[in-house]
Structure 1
Amino acid sequence: MRKFTRLLTIISFTFISSNVFAQATTSSPYSAYGVGGLVPQTFAPSKGMGNIASGLRMPENINISNPASYSSFVLTNIDLGVHGGLDQLSTSSTKENNYNYSLDHFALGFPISSKMGASLGIIPFSNSGYQVGKSDVFQQIDTVAYKNELLGEGGYSQVYFGVGYEIAKNLSIGVNVGYLFGDIKRTTSTVLNDISAVNSRTTVSTSASGFLVKYGAQYTIVQSPEKRWTIGYFGSMKTKVKTTQNTVFDRYILNSAGDPIPMDTVYNNSGVKGHFVLPTMHTVGFTFNRVNKLIAGADFDYQQWSQFSQDGQVTDFKNMYGVRLGAQYTPDIYSVSSYLKRVDYRLGFNYYKSYLNLNNQNINEMDLTLGLGLPLSNQFFGGLLHTGSKLNVAIQLGTRGTTSSGLVKERYANLYLGFTLNDRWFVKRKFD
């Protein structure tokens, strides 16, 4: 186990040093707005339960959404995740399928004392990825046939460190401090219907850097040794993030394969300093836990996106509301005769009234999640059974948007894989 732990750690840090965690990917046209599409700050176990997090307190899994949960750590946890997805985009007349995949996150969680735990890692914050106008449909003005193309790519990530502490019996508080970084590039092109024509495009690249702070609390009501309720809250305040923007207007031609070949640069304005303001966010919820058998809970989100602004310009974003429901059931964690009885079975549901309102249409989102926790090994520590390692699988099936008013409806299917390893790092041994 120790050799395997060292191998996993070396692989994980190799991924980090090679920058492969810089962004997740998406094909959503709705990621063109603001800071891109927000990525839920949860890992595969929570994703399988509808992303519930505020009251989730699982010592063998890292709950980065609510840092108060870190005080429950008994062993050191390592979590490495990957993500793949299919997006189907529909208008009133056409459909298009897109496939995406990426490495998702790396995180480490560990106990500091019997009342304190900590976590650090790198996780995605938002992503942007869309192509609009790639079809062969051109508009005609006099003798000129042309089309406009919009392209977005990139995203923001954060490196974080957090601590959770039990300040009183069954009451814990915690805080995460993250550093946001990354780049989103948005390109607008005018393409002429002539292979020899000179086309033009404007590319705006916005890099961001700044600190984010998230705080949380959890209170557990012990109904009996086997049954308990945990009430949780986490949130963040309005935060200004610095940006640097580069704008390039250039001309290009297309080769026979349709790839752009730059001709000349007409305008280049680099290093323009600015900022955007992220809004206040709050989540409150609860979980019911029947130890080693059942977890069920709900979260309620409120995000004040009407506060969002970029370079002092206020947007028309709306405040965002959401509800998340989820559960996990384990038939018999101690079963020797049946592996399937030791598996965690997960189910969840999400509904969001998003901050986007386009053409007088709310861009709402709804999805169903399914998940499995597949144990790979077990160990006893402190007189209790702990999962040595586990493969967590989550599937998310959902819709976003509408085909009304000339908009796009998005149907998506996402697959999340998370490998979790628990070991005794940083735990003081009684005997050498």
Structure 2
Amino acid sequence: MYKKINYITAVLVLMASISVNAQVTTQSPYSRYGLGNLRGSLLPQLRAMGGISTAVNKPTGYNTINMQNPASYAGITLTTIDAGISAGFTTLTKGDLKDKSFNGTLSHAAFAFPVTTHSALSFGILPYSDLGYNFLQTGTISSGSGTGNGATQNVNSAYTGEGGLTKSYIGYGYRIGDNFRIGANIEYLFGNLIENRDLQFSDDGVDDGAVEPSYATRLQNKNSVGGIAFSYGAQYDFRLSSKMLITLGYSGSSASTINSTRTFLATKYVYDGTQEGGTTIETIDSVGGGKSNLKLPLVHNFGIVLQKNNKWLIGADVRMGKWSNLTINGVNQGLQNSRGASIGGQITPDITSINSYWSKVDYRLGFSYDKTYVKLADNDVKQMALSFGLGLPLASSRNAFYKMNLTAEIGRRGTMVTDDLRENYVNLHLGFTINDKWFTRFKFD
């Protein structure tokens, strides 16, 4: 037992140290809207199948934690631990302009264990949304009187954002009869959403080739978020034979009100010609401690899965969210309702193979398409991705099972209009799943 605990601790500490040293903010201008780029409650093994999850219980002969639908917890029969890291490579293009970035972070840490033969408990922590962008709008102002002889200055309007929300949860799933499962999560969302707007004068109006220091101003809005939300789900199995079944699933998130504290800060600083700015010389205005809230929308997910136990699985999900109802500090964010769909599956050639390791590997493939909650100039911002991955069994024993899950997502986000801003990305996910038999009662004769 102590060796197992030490192994688990070492893995978690290693992944935490990697995430601390990585750049954890995203670089996406689209994260400026709403709550940022939503991450979704998906482990690598589900992302590899296009994100199908609503009707997924046990993809193969091991326990997996599917917090997207807490009803699935009822199928957990062993103590289960899942933790992982994620990394992303993003290329932004607009016309002939191009920018590349890399980000990495700890993606999740989740735990689950059976409570009775019909139920299980799960808890964990994972990102909810990412906020990160940095872009300029340039222009000029003239001090002339309209004769064309006045001096001009270049002016930058710089927009930056950073932060995001994290979700911790605790959930319970219960099986009723042989085929019906229900469950619910209590979730705590917390984090900071920080957005800045700078007005920068990039020169002194004299065309002498030198950049002269000048004054600039920064307006910062910060929302510190912390509050309770709820999610829930149900699954029902239709057994076609002893090894084949169809599962129908539903999951959703309630329209919750999350507390937040708003801080406004206006500062004046010396602009030195760099986008980061220069030395702050005074605070113009500061308003802190303003109590407010976020009103989250209803979200619905529906799914279907057809599977042959320990052999193959194929499924599809559809989802929709009423994001047009999202308000921050009492202000509607002007978003649109989202909708999307995923299809995917996996195959395991021979889970009992002794001679061929690769016959025991899970091979996964999927595709997802979403109309996001962002709409620009009457054009929907859409996102589509192709995903694939492997579930690699590691050393196991009589009561313990270990698996490493590798996933890659290749996708695009944008309005799909020529010369509009587009994001092309490659996301990599690595997760470790441990199934073990803990809390066993021993009997002595």
The answer to whether the Cα contact below 8 Å between 1:298 and 1:324 also exists between their aligned partners in 2 is yes
Aligned residue in 1 for 2:199: 190
2:69 to 39, 44, 66: 66
Aligned residue in 1 for 2:116: 113
- Residue by residue over 1:151-188, the C-alpha shift from the partner in whole angstroms, topping out at 9 and shown as x without a partner, is 11100001110000002221010000011110011111
Aligned residue in 2 for 1:318: 336
Residue 132 (str. 1) matches residue 135 (str. 2): yes
Aligned residue in 2 for 1:215: 232
Aligned residue in 2 for 1:282: 300
Residue 38 (str. 1) matches residue 44 (str. 2): no
- Residue by residue over 1:224-255, the C-alpha shift from the partner in whole angstroms, topping out at 9 and shown as x without a partner, is 12111111110022111111111111112255
TM-score (norm 1): 0.92
Cα 1:16–1:340 shift into 2, 3 Å:
closer
Code of the residue aligned with 1:158 in structure 2: it is: K
The answer to whether the Cα contact below 8 Å between 1:254 and 1:261 also exists between their aligned partners in 2 is yes
Aligned residue in 2 for 1:418: 431
Q: State the shift of 1:427 in Å.
A: 4.0
Code of the residue aligned with 1:299 in structure 2: it is: D
Q: State the shift of 1:98 in Å.
A: 1.0
The answer to whether the Cα contact below 8 Å between 1:128 and 1:184 also exists between their aligned partners in 2 is yes
- Residue by residue over 1:385-420, the C-alpha shift from the partner in whole angstroms, topping out at 9 and shown as x without a partner, is xx7111101100111113648741111110000011
The answer to whether the Cα contact below 8 Å between 2:86 and 2:430 also exists between their aligned partners in 1 is yes
Pairing of 1:241-256 with structure 2 (within 5 A): 241-254=258-271
The answer to whether the Cα contact below 8 Å between 2:200 and 2:271 also exists between their aligned partners in 1 is no
Pairing of 1:133-172 with structure 2 (within 5 A): 133=136, 138-142=138-142, 143-172=152-181
1:316 and 1:405 mapped to 2: Cα distance?
Answer: 24
- Pairs aligned (count): 424
1:81 to 52, 71, 84: 84
- Residue by residue over 1:282-306, the C-alpha shift from the partner in whole angstroms, topping out at 9 and shown as x without a partner, is 1011111211110111111011112
1:205 to 216, 222, 228: 222
Aligned residue in 1 for 2:245: 228
Cα 1:431–1:246 shift into 2, 3 Å:
farther
1:87 and 1:25 mapped to 2: Cα distance?
Answer: 12
Q: What is the CA RMSD across the aligned residues, in angstroms?
A: 2.5
Aligned residue in 2 for 1:337: 355
Aligned residue in 1 for 2:209: none
1:332 and 1:7 mapped to 2: Cα distance?
Answer: 28
Code of the residue aligned with 1:46 in structure 2: it is: L
The answer to whether the Cα contact below 8 Å between 1:148 and 1:190 also exists between their aligned partners in 2 is yes
Task: Tell me the SS of whatever aligns to 1:242.
Answer: strand
Task: Tell me the SS of whatever aligns to 1:124.
Answer: strand
Task: Tell me the SS of whatever aligns to 2:9.
Answer: helix
Q: State the shift of 1:40 in Å.
A: 1.3
The answer to whether the Cα contact below 8 Å between 1:21 and 1:103 also exists between their aligned partners in 2 is no
- Residue by residue over 1:60-83, the C-alpha shift from the partner in whole angstroms, topping out at 9 and shown as x without a partner, is 211010001011111111111101
Q: State the shift of 1:356 in Å.
A: 1.3
Cα 1:431–1:112 shift into 2, 3 Å:
farther
Aligned residue in 2 for 1:98: 101
Aligned residue in 2 for 1:51: 51
Task: Tell me the SS of whatever aligns to 1:50.
Answer: coil
1:9 and 1:164 mapped to 2: Cα distance?
Answer: 26
Task: Tell me the SS of whatever aligns to 2:279.
Answer: strand
- Residue by residue over 1:182-237, the C-alpha shift from the partner in whole angstroms, topping out at 9 and shown as x without a partner, is 00111111222244112211111111111011000011112112111111110022
- Residue by residue over 1:7-61, the C-alpha shift from the partner in whole angstroms, topping out at 9 and shown as x without a partner, is 3236637978999599953211111111111111100110111111111112521
- Residue by residue over 1:113-153, the C-alpha shift from the partner in whole angstroms, topping out at 9 and shown as x without a partner, is 110011001111111011112xxx84222221121111111
2:285 to 261, 267, 272: 267
Residue 353 (str. 1) matches residue 358 (str. 2): no
Task: Tell me the SS of whatever aligns to 1:299.
Answer: strand
Aligned residue in 1 for 2:149: none
Cα 1:258–1:55 shift into 2, 3 Å:
closer
Cα 1:24–1:126 shift into 2, 3 Å:
farther
Which of these two proteins has the greater Rg computed from alpha carbons? Answer: 2
1:345 and 1:393 mapped to 2: Cα distance?
Answer: 10
1:241 and 1:354 mapped to 2: Cα distance?
Answer: 22
The answer to whether the Cα contact below 8 Å between 1:24 and 1:124 also exists between their aligned partners in 2 is no
The answer to whether the Cα contact below 8 Å between 1:361 and 1:405 also exists between their aligned partners in 2 is no
TM-score (norm 2): 0.90
Code of the residue aligned with 1:100 in structure 2: it is: N
Task: Tell me the SS of whatever aligns to 1:378.
Answer: coil
Residue 178 (str. 1) matches residue 187 (str. 2): yes
% same residue: 35
* Consecutive unaligned residues in structure 2, runs of 5 or more: 143-151, 204-211
Aligned residue in 2 for 1:123: 126
Aligned residue in 2 for 1:398: 411
The answer to whether the Cα contact below 8 Å between 1:187 and 1:204 also exists between their aligned partners in 2 is yes
Cα 1:84–1:192 shift into 2, 3 Å:
same
